[in-house]
Amino acid sequence: MLSYAVRRLLYSVVVLVAASFLVFTFVSLSGDPLGQLNLVPNLSEQSRQNVIDAKHLDDPIPVRYAYWAKDAVTNQFGTTLLGDRPILPDLWRVMKNTLQLVLIAELLAVLIAVVIGVYSARHQYSPFDYAATTFSFLGLATPAFWLALILQVLVVQVREATGHQIFPIASLSSVDHEGGLDFVLDRAHHLVLPVIVLTVASVAGYARYMRASMLEVINSDYVRTARAKGLPERTVTMKHAFRNALIPLVTLVALSFGNLLGGAIVVETIFSLDGMGLYFYNALLANDPYRVMAWLMVTATMIIVFNLVADLVYGYLDPRVRYD
Amino acid sequence: MRSPVRRRSALPAIFAVAVVASLVFGPSAPAGPEITTAGTVIFVHDQEPPSLRGGWIDNNLLATGLLTNNIWHGGQIYDSRARLQPRLFEGKPRLVRTRPQTVSFRYKAAAVWSDGRPVTCEDLRATWRVFVNPQFNVVSREGWKDVRSVTCNGKSGTVVFTRPFAAWESLVSSGVYAAHVIRGKNMNQMFNDSIPVSSGPWRFQNWQKGVQITLVKNPRYRVGPPMKLDRVVFRYILDTNARFQALKAREGHVMEPQPQLQIAEFLNDNDFRVQRSPEYAYEHIDIQLGARGHPALRLPHVRQALITGIDRRQISQALFRTIAPGLPTLESLVFKTFERGLYKPNFSRWRFNSARAISLLRSKGCTGGPATPTDGNDDIYSCPGVGRLVFRFFTTTGNQLRTLAFEVIEQQLKRVGIGLIPRFQTAGQLFGGTLPSSDWDLMMFTYAGGPDSKITSNTLYSCGGDQNYGNYCNRRSTAAFNAATRELDPKKRNALLNRGDVQLAVDIPSIPLFVRPKWVISVRGLSGPVLNTTSEGTPWNVGTWQLR
Show the beta-strand stretches assigned E in B353-411: 382-383, 387-388, 390-396
DSSP A25-60: HHHHHHS-TTHHHHTSTT--HHHHHHHHHHHTTTS-
CA distance to partner chain A, nearest, from residue B133 (Å): 9
B459 close to A (CB below 8 A): yes
- How would you label A245-280 residue by residue, b for 16+ Cβ within 10 Å and e otherwise? bbbbbbbbbbbbbbebbbbbbbbbbbbbbbbbbbbb
Q: What is the dihedral of CA B157, B158, B164, B166, to 10 degrees?
A: 30
A161 close to B (CB below 8 A): no
Beta bridge partners of B515: B282
CA distance to partner chain B, nearest, from residue A194 (Å): 13
A287 close to B (CB below 8 A): yes
Q: How far, rounded to the nearest angstrom, does the alpha carbon of residue A40 sit from its chain's CA centroid?
A: 36
> Across the interface, which of A48, A81, A99 has its CB nearest the CB of B22?
A99
- How would you label B49-74 residue by residue, b for 16+ Cβ within 10 Å and e otherwise? bbbbbbbbbbbbbbbbbbbbbbbbbb
Higher pLDDT, A156 or B427: A156
Phi, psi of B515 (to 5 degrees): -80, 135
Interface of B with A in 108-167 (CB under 8 A): 134-142
- Compute the average pLDDT of residues B250-267: 92
Confidence of residue B28 (pLDDT cuts 50, 70, 90): very low
B20 close to A (CB below 8 A): yes
Give the closest residue to B79 by CA, choosing from B454, B530, B447. B530
CA distance B287 to B293: 8
Which pLDDT belongs to residue B4? 39
Dmax over Cα atoms in chain B, in whole Å? Answer: 98
Contact: A38, B436; criterion CB under 8 Å = yes
Confidence of residue B38 (pLDDT cuts 50, 70, 90): low
Residues of chain A contacting residue B242, judged by C-beta atoms under 8 Å apart: 152, 169-170, 270-272
- How would you label B390-416 residue by residue, b for 16+ Cβ within 10 Å and e otherwise? bbbbbbbeebebbeebbebbbebbbbb
Q: What is the helix (H) or strand (E) element at residue A144, kind and residue range?
A: helix A144-162
> Across the interface, which of B20, B50, B235 has its CB nearest the CB of A171?
B235
Three-state secondary-structure class, residue B152: strand
Taking only the tens place, the pLDDT of each residue in B2-23 is: 433 444 445 555 555 555 455 4
B239 close to A (CB below 8 A): yes
A40 close to B (CB below 8 A): yes
Helices (H) and strands (E) in chain B, counts: 16, 20
Contact: B134, A272; criterion CB under 8 Å = no
| CB < 8 Å & 24+ apart, contacts of B200-203 | B200/B69, B200/B70, B200/B71, B200/B72, B200/B73, B201/B70, B201/B73, B201/B225, B201/B226, B201/B227, B201/B542, B201/B543, B202/B70, B202/B71, B202/B227, B202/B232, B202/B542, B203/B71, B203/B114
Measured CA to CA in angstroms, residue B302 lies from A137, B7, B357, B476 at distances of 56, 78, 9, 22
A1 close to B (CB below 8 A): no
Contact: B138, A100; criterion CB under 8 Å = no
CA distance A47 to A221: 75
Does the structure show a pLDDT above 70 at B1?
no
Nearest residue in chain B measured CA to CA from A179:
B33
Residues of chain A contacting residue B239, judged by C-beta atoms under 8 Å apart: 170, 269-272
DSSP A192-218: HHHHHHHHHHHHHHHHHHHHHHHHHHH
CB atoms within 10 A of CB A49: 14
B322 close to A (CB below 8 A): no
B233 close to A (CB below 8 A): yes
B374 close to A (CB below 8 A): no
Measured CA to CA in angstroms, residue A260 lies from A14, A147, A199, A304, B75 at distances of 23, 18, 12, 13, 51
Which pLDDT belongs to residue A321? 67
Nearest residue in chain B measured CA to CA from A162:
B249
Amino acid letter, residue B151: T
CA distance A41 to B456: 10
CA distance B380 to B482: 40
A29 close to B (CB below 8 A): no
- In tens digits, chain A (324 residues) has pLDDT values of 677 778 877 888 888 888 888 888 888 887 777 766 766 666 777 888 888 888 888 889 899 999 988 888 888 888 888 878 889 999 999 999 999 999 999 999 999 999 999 998 888 899 999 998 898 889 889 999 999 999 999 999 999 999 898 999 999 999 887 778 888 999 999 999 999 999 998 898 899 989 998 888 888 888 888 888 888 888 877 777 788 888 888 888 888 887 777 668 889 999 999 999 989 988 887 778 889 889 988 888 888 888 888 888 777 777 776 655
Interface of B with A in 65-104 (CB under 8 A): none
Amino acid letter, residue B325: P
First to last CA, chain B: 69
Contact: B34, A175; criterion CB under 8 Å = yes
Nearest residue in chain B measured CA to CA from A287:
B428
Q: Please give the mean pLDDT across all residues of chain B.
A: 91
What is the CB-side half-sphere exposure of residue B320 using CA atoms within 13 A?
A: 23
Q: What is the helix (H) or strand (E) element at residue B420, kind and residue range?
A: strand B419-425
- Compute the average pLDDT of residues B270-282: 94
CA distance to partner chain A, nearest, from residue B188 (Å): 7
Residue B135: which residues within 8 A CB-CB, separation 6 or more?
A50, B188
CA distance B408 to B403: 9
Mutation target among A29, A34, A37, A39 for the B interface, most CBs of B within 10 A: A39
CA distance B543 to B5: 65
CA distance to partner chain A, nearest, from residue B136 (Å): 7
Amino acid letter, residue A170: A
Mutation target among B34, B269, B481 for the A interface, most CBs of A within 10 A: B34
CA distance B449 to B434: 21
- Would you say the C-alpha torsion B409, B410, B412, B417 has a positive or negative sign? positive
Contact: B19, A90; criterion CB under 8 Å = no
Residues of chain B contacting residue A181, judged by C-beta atoms under 8 Å apart: 24
Three-state secondary-structure class, residue B43: strand
Give the closest residue to A58 by CA, choosing from A28, A27, A103. A28
Beta bridge partners of B202: B217
CB pairs below 8 Å between A and B: how many?
208
Does the structure show a pLDDT above 60 at B45?
yes
Interface of A with B in 187-226 (CB under 8 A): 187
Nearest residue in chain B measured CA to CA from A158:
B249
Q: How far, rounded to the nearest angstrom, does the alpha carbon of residue B548 sit from its chain's CA centroid?
A: 31
A96 in Cβ contact with B22 (< 8 Å):
yes
Higher pLDDT, A234 or B444: B444
CA distance to partner chain B, nearest, from residue A81 (Å): 8
Residues of chain A contacting residue B133, judged by C-beta atoms under 8 Å apart: none
A288 in Cβ contact with A84 (< 8 Å):
no
Which pLDDT belongs to residue A263? 66
CB atoms within 10 A of CB B352: 17
> Could you say which DSSP state residue B230 is in?
S
B245 close to A (CB below 8 A): yes
Taking only the tens place, the pLDDT of each residue in B479-523 is: 999 999 999 999 999 999 999 999 999 999 999 999 999 999 999
- Would you say the C-alpha torsion A148, B521, B266, B81 has a positive or negative sign? negative
Contact: A83, B50; criterion CB under 8 Å = yes
> Across the interface, which of B30, B209, B242 has its CB nearest the CB of A274?
B209
Residues of chain A contacting residue B446, judged by C-beta atoms under 8 Å apart: none
Contact: A168, B251; criterion CB under 8 Å = yes
Nearest residue in chain B measured CA to CA from A163:
B249
Which pLDDT belongs to residue B18? 55
Mutation target among B137, B243, B458, B461 for the A interface, most CBs of A within 10 A: B137
> Across the interface, which of A104, A172, A243 has its CB nearest the CB of B210?
A172
Measured CA to CA in angstroms, residue A67 lies from A57, A72, A78 at distances of 11, 9, 10
CA distance to partner chain B, nearest, from residue A127 (Å): 30
B329 in Cβ contact with B476 (< 8 Å):
no
A235 close to B (CB below 8 A): no
Measured CA to CA in angstroms, residue B479 lies from B300, B322, B458, B462 at distances of 21, 42, 9, 8
Q: Inter-axis angle of helices A61-74 and A289-317, to 10 degrees?
A: 60
Helices (H) and strands (E) in chain A, counts: 14, 0
Which of A4-18, B21-35, B284-298, B390-404 holds the top average pLDDT?
Answer: B284-298
Q: How far, rounded to the nearest angstrom, does the alpha carbon of residue B126 sit from its chain's CA centroid?
A: 27
Does the structure show a pLDDT above 80 at B384?
yes
Which pLDDT belongs to residue A318? 74
Q: B100 preceded by cis ω (within 30°)?
A: yes
Residues of chain B contacting residue A93, judged by C-beta atoms under 8 Å apart: 27-28, 209-210
CA distance A290 to B351: 50
Residues of chain B contacting residue A104, judged by C-beta atoms under 8 Å apart: 19
